[in-house]
Amino acid sequence: MEGKEELHKVLADPPPIGGVTVTDLARILAAGPARATAAGLIDEIRKLEDQKSALAARQARLSVAFDLLQRRAQADAGLPAEQLGAGVGAQIALARRESPAKGSRLLGLAKALVTEMPHTLAALETGQLNEWRATLLVRETACLSAADRAAVDEELSPDTGTFSGAGDRAIVAAAKAAAYRRDPRSVTQRAAHAEAERHVSLRPAPDTMCYLTALLPVAAGVAVHAALTRQADAARSDGDPRTRGQLMADTLVERTTGKAGGISGIEIHLVMTDHTLFQGDSEPARLPGYGIVPAGWARTLAVPDLEQTQDEDHAMRIWLRRLYTAPATGDLVAMDSRARLFPPGLRRLIQARDHTCRTPYCDAPIRHLDHIIPWHNGGTTNLSNGAGLCEACNHTKETPGWSAQTMPGPRHTLQLTTPTGHSYHSTAPPLPGTPATQRPRRTRDDGDTAEPPRPLRTRKLRHKAKRTHRTKAVVRSHPVVQPAA
């Protein structure tokens, strides 16, 4: 009884939670079927998790069926055998709102589950495994032949409860052990092949930081870490006030770039407005390869502290390149060229405008500059007909059945059409200083483009006005009576 009274009291005087009141939360929960008890809520959460796994299994079956249909259609169209299946993963990715690279991985997962690992697929359908743990099993058996992979699948049989209560590491360990027992040579060859996959990548992190990641053979990685640790410990022994982590990071930058500050003959593009640079405006800037950065940080990078740049070793040359945008939309002013290849100046404009690959849901770095309407079909080499794409998306666009064209929009907008006739739209991200009066065009599930929503700023102001009106109404209905003097 006391619990009900407390609940009614909270609902009568709802405190805000992260900007949302308890009343708002209650209204959201009321949209679905109510559960009377906490146990009932947990039961429903578990049921929904099982349904998510079952739907993932259904997506896997549909993906394999779609792949077979597309391969058959491509073969009927006369496509060479080695090119069959091109673009299938990209279409699945667009339908699932994922990047093309992940779409290919999802298609590979689906093929392995449906054709070679029926027990794992059954466990996914019944909720014994989720999609991620099924992916772990598929990944750890990828080096095996189809027969050996099926044998491992039967041996582990996760649908019988083998992995009940097991975590990710336990599943990976069991799969590795089973794979090694079946074919130790393939597992060893897989380790040797992994060395060829070594690379360095860069990902943005919060607060103008980034993750510089190196995938290295274990011996090389341990040696690098030991060298950095040894240098840091030596500096600490000499009285350097920096922490070990800071010293290791600084040493890595210095040894890689040859400069203590990390900037030595390397061109860094920074897109910002003139008001931000010269007048102290707060409009954020954009650092290609990273993303949005604060205005003050951008000014510090562009115009360092003079006291810190007196030393010749710290001197920096700064080149300013002006990019002009249309006042109403923030789109870059067009440039033209009669050449088939994009000239350097136009390439820089397109890269500054697009930032990353223009395929929807793909945020890979730009590797190719593509003619939206191909050159051999009369497409021109200008800013409007150019788009920055990653290498994989550029090759996918050239496969039969794919097409692209520019569309009217608040900024540079292109429409990508797949062989099944589904259309997806991509609008260039806003440049620093773009007025917040329009938003990118939305795409409905049926492929048609919806009208742009009303400005976000307008909705926020309208919502604030409603809240203010309600607050004033409450104040008027409950006036405060001052005590008599």
Closest CA to 373 of 405, 346, 348: 405
pLDDT confidence of residue 54:
95
Strand-pair partners of 407: 413
* Cα separations in angstroms, 409 against 8, 352, 413, 452: 49, 18, 6, 9
pLDDT per residue as tens, the chain (485 positions): 444 454 444 444 555 545 556 566 566 556 666 567 888 889 999 999 999 999 999 999 999 999 999 999 999 999 999 999 999 999 999 999 999 999 999 999 999 999 999 999 999 999 999 999 999 999 999 989 999 999 999 999 876 777 888 889 999 999 989 998 988 888 778 777 888 889 998 888 888 888 999 999 888 999 999 999 999 999 999 999 999 999 999 999 888 887 776 555 556 677 877 777 777 888 888 887 677 888 888 887 776 654 444 444 444 566 666 666 666 666 666 555 566 778 888 888 898 889 899 999 998 889 999 999 988 888 888 888 999 999 999 999 989 999 999 998 778 999 999 999 999 999 998 888 777 655 444 444 444 444 444 444 445 545 554 554 443 333 333 333 333 33
Q: Which two tokens stand for residue 383?
A: 């800013």
**Radius of gyration of the CA atoms of the chain, in A:** 29
- Residues listed for the chain: 485
- Side-chain half-sphere exposure of 68, counting CA atoms within 13 A: 10
Q: Is 211 exposed, middle or buried (0-12, 13-18, 19+ CB in 10 A)?
A: exposed
Residue at 49: amino acid letter: E
Strand-pair partners of 381: 337
pLDDT confidence of residue 290:
75
Closest CA to 59 of 94, 92, 85: 92
- Report helix, strand or coil for 183: coil
pLDDT confidence of residue 28:
59
* DSSP symbols for 203-239: EEETTTEEEEEEE--HHHHHHHHHHHHHHHHHHHHTT
Residues 445/464, Cβ–Cβ less than 8 Å: no
Closest CA to 114 of 156, 160, 81, 66: 66
Helix (H) or strand (E) holding 368: strand 368-371
User: Cα–Cα distance between 164 and 428 in angstroms, integer?
Assistant: 47
Q: How many helices (H) and strands (E) does the chain have?
A: 17, 13
Residues 407/427, Cβ–Cβ less than 8 Å: no
- Report helix, strand or coil for 435: coil
pLDDT confidence of residue 193:
80
Residues 6+ apart with CB under 8 A from 277: 298, 299, 302, 303, 320
pLDDT confidence of residue 10:
40
Residues 6+ apart with CB under 8 A from 229: 244, 248
Question: Beta-strand (E) ranges in 298-365?
Answer: 336-337
Residue at 170: amino acid letter: A
Look up residue 359 and give its DSSP letter: S
Q: Are strands 285-287 and 209-215 parallel, antiparallel or unpaired?
A: unpaired
Residues 6+ apart with CB under 8 A from 13: none
- Report helix, strand or coil for 356: coil
Please write the tens of the pLDDT for every residue from 243-272.
Answer: 999 999 999 988 888 777 655 555 667 787
